[in-house]
């Protein structure tokens, strides 16, 4: 395992070095990413956990397995490209040390949630609280030495983009697992969403106090449509999704959008953008042909019903027509789906970001 990790790091070092953007000015000085497996770029390779994707066929279209839970790039990989930045290295990787950190760092950890208890059955993971602490360490030990005075560092942080994609695991690896977690017995769907938003609001305030100003809040996708959830029900409605689960998740999303509005008025000098991933991804599932996709309810690499009963296994043969699938494995989108999501949330013409696109946010 140790030799495999060394090989992955060396391959990433070559890829990352060749992928630096040198021929144009980026829209933002850096991109700092927080979240879960949807945007983890390899942090969980370095901790003792069951939540890993450092084996083939993960990364088959990236060139090698990096720890991304995808066949290729994630949404934030494409997001970095829209910002004119290189791919953001994982915090726990040697790639995030030195001047590389000036372009941003990815703190996301598979199985992580807003609540510290979320995902504990997988073993180690860096919770959102832990990721914020890593951001603080980055500022003090990795970034401060590159700036002549505190004012320059504050200006740099204020212009950087902070991407937050967290909350899905608080449902699929907490609230929707009553056999392991008690939250669904303690809280109604509305009350649980309130708990998550209250906790998240305090966490965002920590980021603000560390100097973050331009923050992007990605809503949770339609979790009732993922193969993992489809495999656990005997039937689903005509939309191909489990409506009850989607309704529960929508309670969180509506509050998250309201939180963005509230923080825009209560945190001086900040600007929050809400990404409506739910509606976009739901449309991709219900109307895949609009996006050039074909298969919207089965995993390209998985096992059992819908490929969702058991996720993609080491050296398993995935589907060959990956660019026609919405889902890569039991939980995560394909590279093609991620590219579509990024275009609709990060680009200049994005129409699923509120009140402006991330491109416009970076230009402020």
Q: What residues act catalytically? A: 37, 329, 332
Output the CA torsion sign for 236, 237, 242, 248.
negative
* 176 dihedral zone (left: phi>0; alpha: psi -120 to 50; beta): alpha
78 and 342 Cβ atoms separated by less than 8 Å: yes
Among 101, 64, 71, smallest CA distance to 86 is for: 101
First to last CA, the chain: 45
Measured from the Cβ of residue 97, the count of other Cβ atoms closer than 10 Å reads 13
Per DSSP, the residues of 178-241 read TTT--HHHH--HHHHHHHHHHHHHHHHHHHHHHT--EEEEEPP--GGGSHHHHTTSS---TTSS
From CA 232, how far away is CA 271, in angstroms rounded? 40
330 and 312 Cβ atoms separated by less than 8 Å: yes
């Amino acid at each position: 395992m140790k030799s495999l990790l060394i090989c992955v790091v060396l391959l990433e070092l070559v890829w990352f070095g060749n992928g630096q953007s040198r021929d144009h000015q980026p829209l933002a000085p850096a991109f700092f990413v927080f979240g879960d497996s949807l945007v983890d770029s390899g942090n969980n390779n370095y901790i003792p956990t069951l939540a890993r994707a450092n084996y083939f066929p993960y990364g088959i279209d990236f060139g090698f397995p990096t720890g991304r839970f995808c066949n290729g790039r994630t949404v934030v990989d494409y997001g970095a490209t829209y910002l004119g930045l290189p791919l953001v290295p994982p915090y726990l990787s040697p790639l995030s040390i030195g001047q590389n950190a000036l372009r941003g760092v990815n703190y996301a950890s598979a199985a992580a949630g807003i609540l510290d208890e979320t995902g504990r059955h997988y073993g180690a993971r860096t919770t959102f609280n832990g990721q914020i602490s890593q951001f603080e360490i980055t500022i003090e030990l990795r970034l401060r030495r590159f700036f002549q005075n505190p004012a320059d560092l504050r200006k740099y942080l204020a212009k950087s983009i902070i991407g937050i994609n967290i909350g899905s695991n608080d449902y699929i690896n907490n609230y929707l697992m009553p056999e392991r977690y008690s939250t669904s017995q303690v809280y109604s769907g509305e009350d649980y969403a309130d708990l998550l938003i209250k906790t998240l609001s305090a966490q965002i305030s920590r980021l603000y106090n560390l100097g973050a100003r331009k923050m992007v809040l990605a809503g949770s996708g339609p979790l009732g449509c993922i193969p993992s959830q489809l495999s656990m029900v005997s039937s689903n409605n005509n939309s191909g999704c489990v409506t009850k689960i989607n309704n529960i998740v929508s309670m969180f999303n509506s509050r998250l959008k309201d939180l963005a509005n509230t923080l825009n008025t209560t945190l001086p000098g900040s600007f929050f953008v809400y990404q409506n991933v739910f509606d976009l991804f739901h449309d991709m599932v219900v109307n895949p042909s609009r996006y050039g996709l074909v298969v919207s309810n089965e995993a390209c690499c998985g096992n059992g019903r819908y490929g969702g009963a058991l996720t993609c296994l080491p050296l398993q043969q995935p589907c060959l027509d990956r660019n026609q699938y919405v889902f890569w494995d039991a939980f995560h989108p394909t590279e093609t789906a991620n590219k579509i999501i990024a275009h609709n949330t990060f680009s200049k013409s994005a129409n699923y970001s509120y009140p402006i696109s991330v491109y416009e946010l970076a230009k402020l």
